């Protein structure tokens, strides 16, 4: 996987965690999908939190020059998808993430390591 995509995954994960996203998981789906190279899956604790996480990821990657191609689920509070082309970010509320189980569906794909940022005190 390209270094640029790994960098985007890390930047998106950092932005999500800055808005209290939990359980970030990144998967290299490039060997199974022609449409994208990586998924980042995170959880939010409430409807507002899901939207705040998605907004933070969009803003951070946009500031880095990564263009958002499509955004789905905005305002639903249950799930938002941000499609940046090479990276697709899924922001779920905790219950829906468990129900849809993307990690189970894509369990054959390699996990992309994410460096966890130290919590601010």
Give the DSSP H or E segment for 76.
none
Q: Is residue 105 in some structural domain?
A: yes
What is the domain count for the chain? 1
Query: Strand order in 87-93's β-sheet?
Result: 70-72, 79-83, 87-93, 38-44, 22-28, 111-112
Whether 119 maps to a domain, the answer reads no
The model's confidence at residue 48, banded by pLDDT at 50, 70 and 90, is: very high
84-89 average pLDDT score: 97
118 part of a folded domain? no
Mean pLDDT rounded to a whole number for the chain: 93
Residue 121 inside a domain? The answer is: no
Q: What CATH number does the domain containing 42 carry?
A: 3.30.460.10
Q: Of 16-20, 56-60, 112-116, which gets the smallest average pLDDT?
A: 112-116
DSSP letter (8 states) at residue 64: T
In this prediction the pTM is: 0.93
Q: Answer whether residue 50 is part of any domain.
A: yes
Confidence of residue 1 (pLDDT cuts 50, 70, 90): low
What is the pLDDT at residue 87? Answer: 98
Domain that holds residue 10: 3-112
């Amino acid at each position: 996987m390209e270094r640029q995509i790994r960098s985007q995954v890390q930047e998106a994960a950092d932005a999500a965690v800055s808005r209290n996203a939990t359980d970030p998981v990144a998967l290299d789906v490039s060997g199974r999908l022609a449409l994208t190279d990586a998924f980042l899956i995170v959880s939010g604790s409430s409807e507002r939190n899901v939207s705040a996480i998605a907004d933070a990821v969009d803003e951070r990657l946009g500031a880095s020059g990564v263009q958002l191609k499509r955004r789905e689920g905005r305002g639903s509070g249950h799930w938002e998808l941000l499609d940046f082309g090479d990276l697709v970010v899924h922001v779920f509320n905790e219950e829906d993430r468990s129900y849809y189980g993307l990690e189970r569906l894509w369990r054959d794909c390699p996990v992309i390591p994410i460096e966890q940022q130290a919590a601010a005190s």
